[in-house]
């Protein structure tokens, strides 16, 4: 089995992701990764390189300090160790293009990695709180989305999760009370999605794959009754942000939710 050592002055996640993406091009590679995060001292670097030499490992590194990158490259060249400077050439080229010297601050890269892990955590939370699941943990959500079936709750939730927001969505079903937790949390976190009844019927019919059914799920009169039920709830709970998703993209709906819950100063990307 071949070994790859990854040295990073942050978490090493970006280097690991890049190497895995490259290895996809090779059929059944038997690779063992060893990640060394927060590597900044020359003593620690030399100790790791000694291990890499003994293990005949490929050394890959994402270090922002030029001196440390040069130390690794020189050691590997001297000792015939395969090595890849993942970040250095990119930093050098950007520096030449911008005519600005890099700050060489490892903490800045850690912030990037922290945002990555925040997104992963948000996606996991949103998956586990889709369609009313685990309502007892609504307090932990950054955003709570309510709405009738097929008003775009789930797609909107997952788009927001990719921005790093923990989202729970809860279906509104006439005749079935909303979980008590909905009314116990901060009501300003709640957005209620609505849709014009005629359009909602078409969406539901398309979901079922046909246009003739006896189901009340697609019956226009029933849909109007459901819509009136939601309108009554929203009138009663005036702190909820009501968002009409008719003919709107998920991105547009998400932007409005973010602005409503967090204010226009929140970065949206």
Express as a percent the part of the chain with pLDDT over 70.
Answer: 94
Q: Is the pLDDT of residue 265 over 60?
A: no
Kindly report which listed range (4-18, 111-125, 156-170, 188-202) carries the lowest average pLDDT score. Answer: 111-125
Which strand ranges, in their side-by-side order, compose the sheet holding 190-194? Answer: 167-171, 143-147, 190-194, 241-244
Q: For residue 165, which of 123, 130, 135, 111 has the smallest C-alpha distance?
A: 123
Q: Is residue 110 part of a domain?
A: no
What's the total number of domains in the chain? 2
Mean pLDDT of 152-177: 95
Does 267 reside within a domain?
A: no
Q: Based on the domain organization, do 163 and 186 belong to the same domain?
A: yes
What pLDDT, on a 0 to 100 scale, did the predictor assign at position 197?
97
- Is there a domain that residue 255 lies in? yes
Which is nearest to 52 in space by CA: 7, 85, 89, 12?
A: 7
What are the pLDDT digits (tens) for 228-241? 999 999 999 999 99
pLDDT the model gives residue 216: 85
DSSP letter at 173 equals B
The reply to whether 93 and 35 lie within a common domain is yes
Mean pLDDT confidence for 78-93: 95
Could you give the CA distance from residue 179 to residue 135 in angstroms, rounded to a whole number? Answer: 7
Judged against a pLDDT cut of 70, whether residue 52 lies above it is answered with yes
User: Is there a domain that residue 268 lies in?
Assistant: no
Q: What average pLDDT does this structure show over 186-202? A: 96
Last residue of a domain, one of 47, 80, 104: 104
Q: Is 193 helix (H, G, I), strand (E, B) or coil?
A: strand
d(CA 92, CA 138): 46
Confidence of residue 28 (pLDDT cuts 50, 70, 90): confident
Beta bridge partners of 59: 5, 83
24 lies in which domain range? 2-104
Give residue-wise pLDDT tens across range 104-128. 887 776 666 677 778 889 999 999 9
* Contact partners, residue 185, CB within 8 Å, separation at least 6: 138, 139, 141, 144
The answer as to whether 217 is a domain residue is: yes
Q: Considering 37, 70, 104, which residue would you say is the last residue of a domain? A: 104
Give the distance, in angstroms, between the CA of residue 199 and the centroid of all CA atoms in the same chain: 30
Q: Which residues of 89-115 are buried (b: 16+ CB within 10 A; e: fewer)?
A: eebeeeeeeeeeeeeeebeebbeebee
- A 10 A CB-CB count for 118 gives 14
Beta bridge partners of 8: 62
pLDDT of residue 10: 85
- Per-position DSSP letters for 86-109, written without gaps between them: SSHHHHHHHHHHHT------HHHH
Report the C-alpha gap between 154 and 9 in whole angstroms.
Answer: 37
Q: Identify whether residues 35 and 137 lie together within a single domain.
A: no
Average pLDDT over residues 46-66: 96
Please determine, for residue 269, whether its predicted confidence score (pLDDT) is greater than 50: no
Average pLDDT over residues 21-31: 92
Based on the domain organization, do 94 and 163 belong to the same domain?
no
Residue 125 lies in a domain: yes
Mean pLDDT, residues 184-201 taken together: 97
Are 228 and 137 found together in one domain? Answer: yes
Q: Is residue 73 part of a domain?
A: yes
Please determine, for residue 208, whether its predicted confidence score (pLDDT) is greater than 90: no
CATH code for the domain of 22: 3.40.50.2300
Boundary of a domain, candidates 104, 128, 145: 104
| Per-residue CA distances from 44 to 83, 103, 192, 235 (Å) | 17, 22, 54, 63
At 26, is the pLDDT very low, low, confident or very high (cuts 50, 70, 90)?
A: very high
Q: Note whether 136 and 49 are same-domain residues.
A: no
pLDDT digits (tens, 9 = 90+) for 214-226: 578 999 999 999 9
* Same structural domain, 188 and 242: yes
């Amino acid at each position: 089995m071949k070994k790859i050592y990854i040295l990073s002055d942050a978490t090493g996640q970006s280097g690991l992701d890049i190497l895995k993406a490259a290895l996809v091009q090779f059929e059944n590679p038997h690779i063992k990764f060893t990640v060394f995060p927060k590597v900044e001292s020359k003593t620690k670097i030399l100790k790791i390189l000694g291990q890499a030499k003994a293990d005949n490992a490929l050394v890959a590194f994402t270090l922002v300090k030029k001196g440390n990158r040069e130390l690794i490259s020189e050691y590997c060249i001297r000792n015939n160790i395969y090595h890849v400077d993942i970040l250095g050439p990119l930093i050098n080229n950007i520096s030449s293009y911008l005519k600005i010297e890099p700050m060489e601050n490892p903490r800045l890269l850690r912030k990037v990695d922290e945002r990555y892990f925040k997104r992963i955590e948000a996606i996991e939370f949103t998956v586990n709180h889709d369609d009313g699941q685990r309502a007892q943990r609504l307090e932990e959500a950054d955003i709570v989305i309510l709405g009738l079936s097929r008003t775009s709750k789930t797609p909107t939730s997952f788009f927001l999760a990719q921005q790093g927001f923990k989202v729970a969505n809860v279906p509104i079903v006439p005749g079935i009370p909303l979980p008590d937790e909905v009314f116990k949390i901060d009501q300003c976190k709640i957005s209620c999605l609505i849709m014009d009844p005629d359009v909602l019927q078409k969406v539901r019919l398309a979901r079922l794959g046909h246009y003739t059914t006896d189901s009340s799920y697609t019956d226009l009169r029933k849909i109007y009754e459901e819509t009136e039920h939601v309108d009554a709830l929203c009138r009663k709970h005036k702190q909820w942000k009501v968002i009409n998703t008719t003919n709107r993209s998920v991105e547009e709906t998400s932007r409005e939710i973010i602005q409503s819950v967090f204010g226009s100063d929140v970065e949206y990307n």
